[in-house]
Amino acid sequence: MKTLIEKLLTQALAALPEDLVPAAARVAGVEVENTRDPQHGDFAANLALRLAKATRQNPRKLAEALLRLLPPDPAIAKVEIAGAGFINFFLSTGAYHAEIGKVLHDGGQYGRSLVGAGLSVQVEFVSANPTGPLHVGHGRHAAFGASVANLLEAVGHRVEREYYINDAGRQMEILAVSAWLRYLEICGERFAFPANGYRGDYIAAIGERLFAAEGLMLRRGAAEVFKDLPHDEPQGGDKDVHIDALIARARAFIGDAAFRRVLDLALTVILGDIREDLSEFGVTFDCWFSERSLSDDGSVNRAIAALKKSGHAYLKDGAWWFKSTDYGDEKDRVMVRENGVKTYFASDIAYVFNKLERGFSHLLYIWGADHHGYITRLRAGLVALGGPKDSFEVRLVQFVSLFRGGEKAQMSTRSGEFVTLRELRKEVGNDAARLFYVMRSNDQHLDFDMELATARSNDNPVYYIQYAHARVASVMRQLQERGLAHDAKHGLACLGKLVEPQELELIKRVCAYPEIVKQCAAQRAPHTLVHYLRDLANDFHANYSAHQFIVEDSGLRDARLDLALATQTVIRNGLGLLGVSAPETM
């Protein structure tokens, strides 16, 4: 409906005589917004005010000119000029009634559109290092990314969801050596576990799997393994030096092939766990992309070569640098180190390159706020490789603080003392977790109150919204128990009987849904959808309390039930985009 008004206004704008408003002053697009005060109609446009500024003319005069040129439309009952020069639109009740009919007709499709057709968006999110189970911070990324992807799809974009697996590099070696050491313990070896190793229970479980697969084949005596190694941190040494030496020792003792087997087993087990965890959370991916594959298939070398060829790379102090300062970065970045090892940044450049090669027109990265320093250099890489600057978008997700009984829980992957996503889901349920994670703007720190999330009361928005949905189902059950039938078509014909303020309010709210979806998608703002659903539920509960639905007058009854069912449909569709269920009973 908003788009209709925008269309009409655009036509009126085009028809304005050149001498009144020169074409040059019309660059600003037409903006229509929902009004806060019903006295201002349903929608308002500030077009005249903006034109007035550009042409230094009286805004009310311009508004009158626009109004005269506005094409008539049956959906619009009244247009008036108010205040400084706002143009207020009052929709006809017929337009609203038709929209309610559309809700019932479209059902699960209601609110979806094709405004974004033609754009293929790749959304990369979570991408947590496969060195342990997901924790509550990753959960926010998962919920946010999945909801945004759903929203983008709902407006017609072609969406691909991708998880980037950081399966290369030192962290993976530390993971492998940690698993091998646990395996040695199972074999009966005794030693001090390295301070920098991964020490969660899941590592021991991988050790057991390793033992089951390899028997004693990879057993080596602890005394020899640790002989003459640089001291670990507790002994006054450097934990990084210690573990690197331990990795080298492991490779030497069991051979590179076996080390790789250990690493791959650990990777498979952990990734399988992550995949299952996310899947249970309703978060799925179209592609699990391996970082290792980028070096294996030469993508990293190709990307580096491309940068060298285009003159954006140079050799200094034995290392190859990318001249990212050409694109606004504060310093140039190393791609290939003096020792010949490629940096993580080299992989990332290759990855961006790879994404472009795969033909996505838009790349959406969802990162933790601690990665913000990376944006400039990666965009620089993309532009240097010939990618369009605007196709690169990063959304940062701020941290999650978990509260349980007023106590702030700590999160550290290394210590093993962290709250996993799985634990959180088990405690509060998937629905509450999904909703709570996206309830706040992504660039706002999130205080996740587990007690509130489990509360079965009105201070918990999950239950509040779901309850409205269940209530409609309950009314329909009640109708059946009383031996009455619902005639939706009859109800639509009688929507004119809905004249109560709560009903009119609810109708307007329901009809706003498609616009909300578009707005949320454009702004990547699922939290706006949560707020809308909360408001919608509120309007419904208010209407429910004020008026009986199951009344004698069959026309009124059918009309009220139609509105209730339309509300239910929108709640179900909205929750669906957020990955939250819409139960019939609670």
We find the least distance from the C-beta atom of residue 483 to RNA, in angstroms, to be 14
- Give yes or no for residue 471 binding RNA (CB under 7 A): yes
**Whole-angstrom Cα distance, residue 543 to residue 504?**
10
**Phi/psi at 28 (nearest 5 deg)?**
-65, 130
We find the least distance from the C-beta atom of residue 290 to RNA, in angstroms, to be 13
- Give yes or no for residue 412 binding RNA (CB under 7 A): no
**Which region, left, alpha or beta, applies to residue 63 given φ > 0 means left and ψ of -120 to 50 means alpha?**
alpha
Question: Around Cβ 411, how many Cβ atoms within 10 Å?
Answer: 18
Q: Return the H-helix or E-strand segment holding 457.
A: none
Please report the DSSP string for 49-109 in residue order: HHHHHHHT--HHHHHHHHHHHPPP-TTEEEEEEETTTEEEEEE-HHHHHHHHHHHHHHGGG
Interacting positions 449-468 with RNA (CB under 7 A): 456-459, 461, 463-464, 467
- Give yes or no for residue 120 binding RNA (CB under 7 A): no
8 A C-beta contact, residue 44 and residue 86:
yes
Interacting positions 50-79 with RNA (CB under 7 A): 50, 52-53
Q: Which two tokens stand for residue 97?
A: 């009634």
Which residues, in sequence order, are bridge partners of residue 547? none
The residue within the footprint of RNA, chosen from 68, 231, 316, 489 (CB under 7 A), is 316
The residue within the footprint of RNA, chosen from 18, 19, 27, 36 (CB under 7 A), is 36
Kindly tell me the sign of the dihedral angle through the C-alpha atoms of 343, 344, 349, 355: positive
- Give yes or no for residue 534 binding RNA (CB under 7 A): yes
Cβ-Cβ contacts under 8 Å for 469 (sequence gap 6 or more): 568, 571, 572, 575, 582, 583, 584
The crossing angle, in degrees rounded to 10, of helices 554-578 and 430-439 is 80
The residue within the footprint of RNA, chosen from 14, 15, 84, 192 (CB under 7 A), is 84
Binding mask 483-512 for RNA (x = CB under 7 A): ------------------------------
8 A C-beta contact, residue 357 and residue 310:
no
Q: Could you tell me which stretch among 38-46, 66-74, 90-98, 135-143 binds RNA (CB under 7 A)?
A: 38-46
The residue within the footprint of RNA, chosen from 354, 398, 554, 581 (CB under 7 A), is 398
Q: Which two tokens stand for residue 428?
A: 């509060």
The residue within the footprint of RNA, chosen from 61, 95, 547, 581 (CB under 7 A), is 547
**Which region, left, alpha or beta, applies to residue 471 given φ > 0 means left and ψ of -120 to 50 means alpha?**
alpha
Q: Minimal CA–CA distance to 462: which of 286, 326, 581, 300?
A: 581
Interacting positions 205-234 with RNA (CB under 7 A): none
- Give yes or no for residue 395 binding RNA (CB under 7 A): no
The residue within the footprint of RNA, chosen from 125, 183, 198, 544 (CB under 7 A), is 544
Which residues, in sequence order, are bridge partners of residue 135? 420
We find the least distance from the C-beta atom of residue 215 to RNA, in angstroms, to be 31
The beta strands (E) that lie in 196-246 are given as none
Q: Could you tell me which stretch among 200-208, 337-345, 427-435, 507-515 binds RNA (CB under 7 A)?
A: 337-345
Which residues, in sequence order, are bridge partners of residue 436? none
- Give yes or no for residue 191 binding RNA (CB under 7 A): no
- Give yes or no for residue 576 binding RNA (CB under 7 A): no
- Give yes or no for residue 93 binding RNA (CB under 7 A): no
Is the CB of 39 or the CB of 412 nearer to RNA?
39
- Give yes or no for residue 525 binding RNA (CB under 7 A): yes
We find the least distance from the C-beta atom of residue 32 to RNA, in angstroms, to be 10
Question: Around Cβ 142, how many Cβ atoms within 10 Å?
Answer: 28
CA angle at 153 for the pair 28 and 537, rounded to the nearest 5°: 85
What are the CA-CA distances from residue 322 to residues 15, 127, 168, 345, 354 (Å)?
A: 53, 25, 21, 10, 18
Is the CB of 362 or the CB of 471 nearer to RNA?
471
**Which region, left, alpha or beta, applies to residue 100 given φ > 0 means left and ψ of -120 to 50 means alpha?**
alpha
Interacting positions 422-451 with RNA (CB under 7 A): 440-441, 443-447
- Give yes or no for residue 357 binding RNA (CB under 7 A): no
Q: Could you tell me which stretch among 106-114, 181-189, 260-268, 367-375 binds RNA (CB under 7 A)?
A: 367-375
The residue within the footprint of RNA, chosen from 7, 550, 576, 581 (CB under 7 A), is 550
Number of residues that bind RNA (CB under 7 A): 85
The residue within the footprint of RNA, chosen from 413, 538, 554, 581 (CB under 7 A), is 538
The residue within the footprint of RNA, chosen from 42, 46, 559, 572 (CB under 7 A), is 46
The residue within the footprint of RNA, chosen from 18, 19, 317, 552 (CB under 7 A), is 317
8 A C-beta contact, residue 189 and residue 212:
no
**Whole-angstrom Cα distance, residue 512 to residue 169?**
49
Residue type, 103: V
- Give yes or no for residue 542 binding RNA (CB under 7 A): yes
**Whole-angstrom Cα distance, residue 414 to residue 194?**
11
The residue within the footprint of RNA, chosen from 541, 554, 576, 581 (CB under 7 A), is 541
The residue within the footprint of RNA, chosen from 14, 22, 117, 399 (CB under 7 A), is 399
- Give yes or no for residue 2 binding RNA (CB under 7 A): no
We find the least distance from the C-beta atom of residue 433 to RNA, in angstroms, to be 16
Interacting positions 251-310 with RNA (CB under 7 A): none
Is the CB of 77 or the CB of 542 nearer to RNA?
542
Q: Minimal CA–CA distance to 571: which of 525, 549, 539?
A: 539
- Give yes or no for residue 197 binding RNA (CB under 7 A): no
- Give yes or no for residue 164 binding RNA (CB under 7 A): no
- Give yes or no for residue 10 binding RNA (CB under 7 A): no
